[in-house]
Amino acid sequence: DADVTQTPRNRITKTGKRIMLECSQTKGHDRMYWYRQDPGLGLRLIYYSFDVKDINKGEISDGYSVSRQAQAKFSLSLESAIPNQTALYFCATRAAGTSGGNTGELFFGEGSRLTVL
Amino acid sequence: AQSVTQLGSHVSVSEGALVLLRCNYSSSVPPYLFWYVQYPNQGLQLLLKYTSAATLVKGINGFEAEFKKSETSFHLTKPSAHMSDAAEYFCAVRGSNYKLTFGKGTLLTVNP
Q: pLDDT tens digits for A25-42? A: 999 999 999 999 998 889
Nearest residue on chain A to B38, alpha-carbon basis:
A110
Contacts of B98 in chain A (CB under 8 A): 31, 94, 104
Contacts 24+ apart (CB under 8 A), B83-88: B83/B15, B83/B110, B83/B112, B85/B19, B85/B61, B85/B110, B86/B110, B87/B37, B87/B38, B87/B39, B87/B40, B88/B37, B88/B38
Q: Specify whether the CB–CB gap between B32 and A103 falls below 8 A.
A: yes
> What average pLDDT does the segment A90-112 reach?
82
Confidence grade of residue A99 (pLDDT, cut at 50, 70, 90): low
- Please count the CA atoms within 13 angstroms of the CA of B24 that sit on its side-chain side: 6
Q: Does A100 touch chain B (CB under 8 A)?
A: no
Using CB atoms, which residue from B45, B49, B103 is nearest to A42?
B103
A63 in contact with B at a CB cutoff of 8 Å? no
CA distance A70 to chain B (A): 21
In which element (H, E) is residue A105 found?
none
Per-residue buried b or exposed e for A32-61, using 16+ beta carbons within 10 Å of the residue's own CB? bbbbbbeeeebbbbbbbbeeeeebeebeee
Given a cut of 60, whether residue B107 has pLDDT beyond it is yes
pLDDT at B51: 86
Share of chain B above pLDDT 70, in %: 100
Q: Measured between alpha carbons, how far is B86 from B110 in angstroms, rounded to an integer?
A: 6
